Amino acid sequence: MMKDNAVIDVHNVSKIYNPDAIPVPAVNNIHLHIERGEFTALVGPSGSGKTTVLNLIGGLDTPTEGRVIINGVDITGLSPNELIQFRLNNIGFVFQSYNLIPVLTARENVEFIMQLQGVPKAARTKRVQELMAAVGLSDKLDVRPAKLSGGQQQRVAVARALASKPRFVLADEPTANLDSKSAATLLDIMAQLNKEEGITFIFSTHDARVIERARRVITLVDGRIASDVIQQKNSV
């Protein structure tokens, strides 16, 4: 059973790539739970398994062993189509490379996921305007990604991640390509959304700026959890 306050419960999860050739263990018997409203960073050196753990939680990869339970649903037992629908309605993703659709405007990028959900046009328009205001880009609604700075593109990506009203957001190295000012702005936005809307944020990062803001820091080494620390004195 998932713990009462947990959004995510990872049960004894391992991931081995190329198991039938030269096995490459990426995650080794991980067990953890993430509670609602957490602002958590998965940290560790390259090859530590942090991005793999994030991808397993998000259903972008499947474990070799173990289970990932999200909001009471064992996503490791879902069919591909069921998993797509589950991600659509529960998870927002923010990627290091932004992953915006270049031929769409900022407005259209944010709106796209709501179209997939079947949200009516009037509701989509209202939600886009609210989100773009929240990330400080109300004046960039009709601008395509190529005309936006890296920091602006990442803020559009955050707005897109939140458009579906997800229970939690997974962010893989979201500040890696940003300068200090843009990174601080982005983290301020996410921290405010975490505080005001109770959205759970989980970061995969090696960025000290993100780690400093996180309330919980989980360190991975060689695919195992080396430490799991609540930063009591830290405040977002």
Q: Is residue 110 part of a domain?
A: yes
CATH number for 101: 3.40.50.300
Residue 2 confidence (pLDDT): 47
User: Token match 């695919």: residue?
Assistant: 223
Confidence check: pLDDT of 6 > 70 = no
Residue 179 confidence (pLDDT): 86
Number of neighbouring beta carbons within 10 Å of residue 12: 11
DSSP 20-67: TSS-EEEEEEEEEEEETT-EEEEE-STTSSHHHHHHHHTTSS--SEEE
Q: Is residue 1 part of a domain?
A: no
In angstroms, rounded to a whole number, what is the distance separating the alpha carbons of residues 228 and 214? 12
Domain count, the chain: 1
What's the pLDDT band for 178 if we cut at 50, 70, 90?
confident
Token pair, residue 45, equals: 């050196």
User: Token match 């930063």: residue?
Assistant: 231
Residue pair 39/214 in contact (Cβ under 8 Å)? The answer is: yes
> Global pTM?
0.89
Of 26-35, 45-54, 74-83, 226-235, the range with the lowest mean pLDDT is: 226-235
What's the pLDDT band for 236 if we cut at 50, 70, 90?
very low
Number of neighbouring beta carbons within 10 Å of residue 6: 20
Confidence check: pLDDT of 234 > 50 = no
Q: Is residue 179 part of a domain?
A: yes
pLDDT digits (tens, 9 = 90+) for 146-169: 999 999 999 999 999 989 888 889
Q: Is residue 236 part of a domain?
A: no
Instruction: Give 12's contacts (C-beta < 8 A, 6+ positions apart).
Output: 29, 30, 31, 65, 66, 67
Residue 92 confidence (pLDDT): 93
Q: Is residue 143 part of a domain?
A: yes
Token pair, residue 106, equals: 């900022």
What does the pLDDT average to over 33-50? 93
Confidence check: pLDDT of 16 > 90 = yes
What's the pLDDT band for 181 if we cut at 50, 70, 90?
confident
pLDDT digits (tens, 9 = 90+) for 70-124: 989 999 999 999 999 999 989 999 988 889 999 999 999 999 999 999 999 999 9
For residue 174, what are the domain limits? 6-230
> Average per-residue pLDDT in the chain?
91
In angstroms, rounded to a whole number, what is the distance separating the alpha carbons of residues 54 and 75? 14
pLDDT digits (tens, 9 = 90+) for 194-210: 998 889 999 999 999 99
Instruction: Give 80's contacts (C-beta < 8 A, 6+ positions apart).
Output: none
